[in-house]
Structure 1
Amino acid sequence: MMTAPHWTPADIPSLDGRTALVTGANGGIGFRTAQVLAQHGARVLLAGRRPDSLAEAAARLHAAVPAARLETVELDLSDLAAIRAAAAPLGAGETIDLLVNNAGVMDVPERRTTRDGLELTVGTNHLGHFALTAHLMPALMRSADARIVTVSAIAATWRSGDLTDLMSERRYRPMSAYAKSKRANIVFTQELARRLDGSPHRALAVHPGSAVTNLQRHTSTGRMGRLFVALAARTLMGSADGAAWPSLYAATHPDAANGSFLGPVGRDQTSGAPRPAPMPAGADSPDLGAWLWRESERLTGVMFPALQT
């Protein structure tokens, strides 16, 4: 896959007639992704856990893009019943052209579980989005050429991201759980891409580089850790604006291929036109993909519908 070396979001074509759903759209990378899609004419469904935060985000977006066509969707990715309830009316009658699985949690200090007893980080970042995507597949399949973009992270390449002990039942380490969830995002995307192969629909994963967003609210490393994040924000990490570029490229560029894993081209991995990123070792294994798919269906109790391609 070739990438446009000088691509910027200004190159996105008109998205009139397209509907996008962005999770975690109330702030950070998700908000910026939603804003740019709206600027280019898409109808955008802002999905997030807190109605008040979603309303505030919609107001800010309308102020920036007065012609924006926006709706809000209350969605708690740590609650399977809430996911089903949020997705049901969309799956029943909507057409969704772009799904950006962006929301997530990071560095939760102690092992916690979702409402359904799943480890919180993997349960939210991977299993929540797995269930959401499954419930939305009827709406996505109504599109002529749907794209499902799932936001991973550089942490997916860490050795601690190995998917054994997926629920961290033997040992819980905050950033290992995060790395597992982010590798699972890629493995899931690869398997979904295989199942969509030969159809006009595409599944892609991206990493946003190093950006300071509200994910850092869970940092577990105490005062020194918070000082490090503050220093990194000044010297190493990019903004949410640049970090949204890979998601926007994956969602809109005609050359963004099914099964791609994309990240920023910049040497500092914080900005620049997206390009293919190094795949974590084994993440594209069909055997691993099939295992994670089965395990995700078992843990969530959510079965993907047959993909009509």
Structure 2
Amino acid sequence: MRGTAGWTLAEMPGQTGRTALVTGANSGVGYETSRALARVGATVIMGGRDESRLAEAATAIRAETPGARLEVRRLDLADLDSVRAAAAGVLAEGRPLDLLFNNAGVMAVPQRRTTRDGFELTFGTNHLGHFALTGHLLPALLSAGAARVVTVSAIASRWPAGGLADVNSEQAYRPMQAYAVSKFANVVFTQELARRAAGTGLVAVAAHPGVSQTNITREVPRVLAAVNQLLRPFLFQSTDRAALPSLYAATHPDLGGGEFVGPTGLGEGRGAPGPVRLPRQADDPEVGRRLWELSERLTGVDYAFPSTRPAA
């Protein structure tokens, strides 16, 4: 795996003795992230809705990396009970969690649908599911001492003109607008998590993969799919390269929290990973506070940070 220039996997530190959890690990960027982490010695908990597909993905990685330490866990981000159960299983083992990749997502669902808990499916899966998962796993993350939470956003995070005004798409549902809002929320969440975790050793970084054809695009409108197919040789990058920003965000020593990492080539569609500009208003503390309080209310998850923290 190599970017067009700059940082490559050859520069990623070894991860032996560290544990990572990757959501959406059976395909696309999640699979490539799991594959790369296994190669450098991490224990990877592969989370996803379909255990049989996860098992197939784990088998493929083991065939390439004999001795890879992989675990398969059912985790449906559109079901808060499933999120709670998956996190409880990790916590019950009593081990620190060094890396959390909030990677899974849905995109351009044609008609408005809801999660098991009644939230609009895109926002409920892409943001609320990951907000709840991170909160439930907070004790394991804090016990690691220097954990990182990488939340995977998208270029679309820069699109929503209305910000977070209609996160549940109750006024009017538009598939790509709902996706953009959820991805903007991913970056706002990262910014607010970085602020609230200051002094704990927990580092929160957002990342976006650039432009890549993965399973998440299977619901896009036919016209857009046709355009994507025509432009693919010129604008798209391979899925393994699309995973580089997430891996950079998780392991680069110079990141202190709150950064947004993406491809640094033209239009951020492809190229080597590195810090890129934040979406407008994503770092506004008031926007972060409102999203955080809304997310706590909707999910019922309260982040229990220690009252006494070491110096940052």
Q: Which residue of 2 aligns with 1:8?
A: 8
Q: Which residue of 1 aligns with 2:298?
A: 299
Give the Cα–Cα distance (whole angstroms) in 2 for the partners of residues 13 and 161 of structure 1: 40
Give the Cα–Cα distance (whole angstroms) in 1 for the partners of residues 278 and 224 of structure 2: 28
Give the AA of the match of 2:190: T
Give the Cα–Cα distance (whole angstroms) in 2 for the partners of residues 253 and 161 of structure 1: 33
Aligned length: 303
Give the Cα–Cα distance (whole angstroms) in 2 for the partners of residues 39 and 161 of structure 1: 42
Give the Cα–Cα distance (whole angstroms) in 1 for the partners of residues 168 and 278 of structure 2: 23
Give the Cα–Cα distance (whole angstroms) in 2 for the partners of residues 131 and 31 of structure 1: 22
Q: Which residue of 1 aligns with 2:209?
A: 208
What TM-score does the superposition give when structure 2 sets the normalisation length?
0.94
TM-aligned CA deviation for residue 161 of structure 1:
6.1
TM-aligned CA deviation for residue 163 of structure 1:
0.6
SS of 2:279's equivalent in the other structure is: coil
Q: Which residue of 2 aligns with 1:115?
A: 116
Give the Cα–Cα distance (whole angstroms) in 2 for the partners of residues 19 and 161 of structure 1: 38
TM-aligned CA deviation for residue 268 of structure 1:
5.0
Q: Which residue of 2 aligns with 1:41?
A: 41
SS of 1:284's equivalent in the other structure is: coil
Deviations 1:57-114 (A, max 9, x none): 0011101111210001100000000110111021232311000000000000000000
Q: Which runs of 5+ in 1 are unaligned?
A: none
Deviations 1:202-225 (A, max 9, x none): 000011111110011111x23x33
Q: Which residue of 2 aligns with 1:95?
A: 96
Contact 1:236/1:268 (8 A) holds in 2: no
Q: Which residue of 2 aligns with 1:152?
A: 153
Q: Which residue of 2 aligns with 1:60?
A: 60
Deviations 1:94-143 (A, max 9, x none): 31100000000000000000000000000000000000000110111110
Contact 2:49/2:75 (8 A) holds in 1: yes
Counterparts in 2 of 1:307 and 1:110: CA distance versus 1, 3 Å: farther
Q: Which residue of 2 aligns with 1:194?
A: 195
Give the AA of the match of 2:197: L
Deviations 1:205-252 (A, max 9, x none): 011111110011111x23x33322222333321111111111001111
Give the Cα–Cα distance (whole angstroms) in 1 for the partners of residues 67 and 24 of structure 2: 22
Contact 1:161/1:183 (8 A) holds in 2: no
Q: Which runs of 5+ in 2 are unaligned?
A: none
TM-aligned CA deviation for residue 160 of structure 1:
4.1
- What does residue range 234-249 of structure 1 map to in structure 2 within 5 Å? 234-249=233-248
Counterparts in 2 of 1:275 and 1:17: CA distance versus 1, 3 Å: same
Give the Cα–Cα distance (whole angstroms) in 2 for the partners of residues 44 and 281 of structure 1: 34
Which stretch of the first structure deviates more once superposed, 234-243 or 36-45?
234-243
Q: Which residue of 2 aligns with 1:163?
A: 164
Contact 2:47/2:72 (8 A) holds in 1: yes
Counterparts in 2 of 1:49 and 1:242: CA distance versus 1, 3 Å: same
SS of 2:287's equivalent in the other structure is: helix
Contact 2:147/2:201 (8 A) holds in 1: yes
Give the AA of the match of 1:149: V
What TM-score does the superposition give when structure 1 sets the normalisation length?
0.95
Give the Cα–Cα distance (whole angstroms) in 2 for the partners of residues 227 and 265 of structure 1: 26
Q: Which residue of 2 aligns with 1:126?
A: 127
Q: Which residue of 2 aligns with 1:251?
A: 250
- In angstroms, what is the RMSD of aligned CA positions? 1.3
Give the AA of the match of 1:90: V
TM-aligned CA deviation for residue 304 of structure 1:
1.5
Give the Cα–Cα distance (whole angstroms) in 2 for the partners of residues 266 and 279 of structure 1: 16
Contact 1:249/1:256 (8 A) holds in 2: no
Give the Cα–Cα distance (whole angstroms) in 2 for the partners of residues 175 and 270 of structure 1: 18
Contact 1:156/1:179 (8 A) holds in 2: yes
SS of 2:96's equivalent in the other structure is: coil
Q: Which residue of 1 aligns with 2:231?
A: 232
Contact 2:186/2:206 (8 A) holds in 1: yes
Give the AA of the match of 1:166: V
Give the Cα–Cα distance (whole angstroms) in 2 for the partners of residues 159 and 31 of structure 1: 28
Contact 2:96/2:144 (8 A) holds in 1: yes
Which stretch of the first structure deviates more once superposed, 140-149 or 229-238?
229-238
SS of 1:20's equivalent in the other structure is: strand
Contact 1:161/1:179 (8 A) holds in 2: no
1:175 and 2:198 matched: no
Deviations 1:170-210 (A, max 9, x none): 01100000000000000000000001112322000011111
SS of 1:159's equivalent in the other structure is: coil
Which stretch of the first structure deviates more once superposed, 246-255 or 197-206?
197-206
